[in-house]
Chains A and B, each alone.
Chain A
């Protein structure tokens, strides 16, 4: 390149660099090609002829090319890093948002009963306030009920947290009917006198299943019935074996679950009717207990008019036991 030529050469080099910076490798290569041809056409002797006559022209074009590739690659890298950073930032922001939402819900779930307890205790301890014995008793039983609510919440939250992180699955030989009967019997207080119609074949073979997790799932389902169906309505528990799957259905004749809410009810802290003593951890806990041992849990309309929760768990059957 003659000293006179260095100006246009630098100019084109700049254009190539800019195209590479802005557009990436592709546009940079196009700019290189056009720039090379233009220099050859306009400035190389003989001018206005598209013909490579000197090694210098080759070198010019080579330099452009190298420049274009380097800048283009650099640009490509930066862009990749940038998009990765943006994705990370979005994820982090979403996580922070989710955590904030969770904290808000959890602190609400904790603060409500704590406030009630605090206020009641203030009245009870306030010496200036002359309380009737009946009032004192009422305040105290309120405190006890709220404390019980807190206990339930903390227990569920801890159990759920454990199931979601490191579910300790202990598959052992169990009589599924025995477990279901034991849970149903134990849950009678939560069912508040609702009749339980339990039907599980007596002759089910022994199967390897985590009875503790099955217990957790069933308990949560029965507590859910107790909290969300009208008092005095019955609950049906049916079960059996379908190939190598144990199925258990818990159905009621309550209000049922609208179609649009049938997944949402398994989300943490979701409460579709806003009623009941819970805070929306029971059903997520039941599903986590099912999933921890490879099972499924969903809800569908019950033939009794309400909701039917279907639990299906893969099991290993005792050798020689034929799957019915």
Chain B
């Protein structure tokens, strides 16, 4: 029944930004709803069930971090936070709270559309229930706990396997250090950043053709890691 590219909810307290974004996204075939604050956003999430939430971080009342937290506790929809350069700490808190990705305001429309496409892809194939998950040439068999890279088996330790599994489960999504550590190894490891660096280093040596110039596991300095699913570009 639904022939649109997907359903997006834009949350921004700035009417001009809301309207401009709505125009762009409608033009790209998205079904678009807008909300002017955090409470309206929560209501729209419950009623409209959007695929992707485009969420401004800085809003009066309920801010973006809090909206991320509340939405994430009831829904698995994709959250892209829109932050200003000066909101770095809030951005990381929003990602920790469950937001999936971010764009920095003012952003280019191409960048936003690219992020949106990735988010839609993830929304369509939430792979947690699938036994075999794929991201580009990387395949994770969650039953056999086996990882293959372009058909070749990659031998990983248990911790390495868990990190890869979480990254492949969330392709193109920024995983903060804390989020990645606690999802892969348990919340008691949330601050074990030294350990994470070592793990990522080892995983890259086994998985990446050029470990120092990673094509798949991309570093977001000061924030976390992102698995690039289509490394064609």
Contact = CB atoms under 8 A, between A and B. Distances in A.
Interface of A: 148, 151, 154-155, 158-159, 162, 168, 170, 172-175, 177-179, 181-183, 185, 202, 206, 210-215, 318
Contacts of B198: 206
Interface stretch (B73-81, B146-154, B160-168, B216-224): B216-224
Which among B193, B213, B221 has the greatest number of chain A C-beta atoms within 10 A? B221
Interface string B177-202: 10000000000000001100110110
Contact of A148 (B108, B222, B223): B108
B223 A181 contact: no
B212 A181 contact: yes
25 contacts: A151-B106, A151-B108, A154-B106, A155-B85, A155-B106, A159-B85, A168-B88, A170-B222, A172-B177, A172-B222, A173-B194, A174-B197, A174-B221, A175-B201, A177-B212, A181-B213, A181-B219, A182-B219, A182-B220, A183-B221, A202-B212, A206-B197, A210-B222, A212-B221, A213-B222
How many residues of B sit at the interface, in one of the four size bands? Answer: 20 to 34
Given A158-B86, A212-B222, A318-B194, 17 more contacts: A154-B106, A162-B85, A172-B193, A173-B197, A174-B221, A175-B197, A177-B212, A178-B201, A178-B219, A179-B219, A179-B221, A181-B212, A181-B214, A182-B220, A212-B221, A213-B222, A215-B222
B27 interface: no
A162 B84 CA distance: 12
A154 B106 CA distance: 9
B89 interface: yes
Interface in B98-121: 104, 106, 108
Contacts of B218: 182
Nearest to B89: A168
Given A151-B106, A173-B194, A175-B197, A211 B222 contact: yes
Nearest to A200: B212
Contacts of A154: 106
Which among B85, B108, B219 has the greatest number of chain A C-beta atoms within 10 A? B219
Given A172-B193, A173-B197, A318-B194, A215 B106 contact: no
A212 B193 contact: no
Contacts of A168: 88-89
A101 B197 CA distance: 46
B89 to A, nearest CB: 6
Contact of A212 (B88, B104, B212, B213): B88
A179 B197 CA distance: 11
Nearest to B219: A182
Nearest to B104: A155
User: What 4 A-B pairs have minimum CB-CB distances, sorted nearest first?
Assistant: A212-B222, A182-B219, A215-B221, A211-B221
Which among A151, A172, A178, A318 has the greatest number of chain B C-beta atoms within 10 A? A178
